[in-house]
Structures are given as structure tokens and as C-alpha cells.
Amino acid sequence: MLLAAGQLREHRLKVTPQRLAIFHMLSNTKSHPSAEMIYNSLRETHPTMSLATVYKTLDALVKASLIQQINVGEDAFRYDANTDSHPHIICTHCHQVYDLETDELPDLKALVAEKTHFRLSHEQLYFYGTCPDCQSEIH
């Protein structure tokens, strides 16, 4: 992937097959996978890659602001190639994590900054419930 390689180079990160695979996989999914999920999904194509490498790569990508780490309240962190600080909605039944379009919600940052006098850097908004698919499945 030329694009990914360029982005890595810009941050003075060496372009390795492992990094390309992880970054590429994250860029082409909407599933917000955990480190373990990434590791398992790349096992077929990269059978020698270790879980430690997945963690080190994710750490490098987060530090370079090429991906973001999110914490939906499960045991493990999830990763997202969309680096905007956008709200997520999580199905507590199937554990899928979906994006919410930012423009669908009012901007709270300015309001909170005004009320609290904090200098705000980012926010994390999570909504939990049952997704439409799981709702019909339960019935």
C-alpha cells in the first residue's frame, strides 16, 4: 500500500510488512478490533507475526496519530483507523462497536469548556444498548 507506506515514512517509522498489514487491516474495517482480533485475523497471511509485534505496532501508530485507541469498557482496548474523536455505539449483546456521525450530535466540547474552565483536548462518548439485529434475534 503506497499511501500507508508514505504515512509511515512521514513519521520516520520504518516500513515493514507487519506494520503495513496492521495499518491496512485497520483502515479497511469498521469493526474496531482489539489487538487479539487483529493478531488472529492476520495469522493466515502473516503466520510468524507475534502478538508483541501487534502491540508494539499499535503503540507506534497511536503515537504517530495514525490510529486511535478506544476503551469501550471491555477487558481489552479497541483500535480505530478513524482518528477523529467521534462517538461510538456499542451493542452489549454482540459486542459490535459502531461509529456515530459527529454531525448527528450537537457539539458538547465548547459547552463543557465554558462550564468547567477546563482546556479540553478530546472526548470519548459511548452509548450502550442492543442493536437492531440483536433486537429481532432475541424475539
Partner DNA sequence: CTTTCTGCAAAAAGTTTGCAGCCAA
Partner DNA sequence: TTGGCTGCAAACTTTTTGCAGAAAG
Q: Where is the binding site for Zn(2+), in residues?
A: 91, 94, 131, 134
Binding to DNA (CB under 7 A) within 31-70 occurs at: 34-36, 46, 48-53, 55-57, 59-60
CB of 112 to DNA, least distance (A): 26
3 vs 105, which CB is nearer to its own copies? Answer: 105
Residue 64 as a binder of its own copies (CB under 8 A): the answer is no
Q: Which of 30, 37, 41, 42 is nearest to 76 (CA)?
A: 37
Cα–Cα distance between 11 and 66 in angstroms, integer?
9
Q: Which three cell numbers stand for residue 34?
A: 482489539
CB-nearer residue toward its own copies: 46 or 93: 93
Q: Cβ atoms within 10 A of the Cβ of 70, count?
A: 18
Helix axis angle, 51-63 to 35-42, nearest 10°: 120
Residues in the chain: 139
* Residue 9 interacting entry, from DNA, its own copies, none, C-beta within 5 to 8 Å by type: DNA
Q: How far is the CB of 24 from DNA (least distance, A)?
A: 13
3-state SS of 47-69 is: CCCCHHHHHHHHHHHHHCCCCEE
139 binding its own copies? (CB under 8 A): no
Sites of contact with its own copies (CB under 8 A):
71, 73, 87, 89, 91-92, 98, 100, 104-106, 108-109, 111-113, 115-132, 135
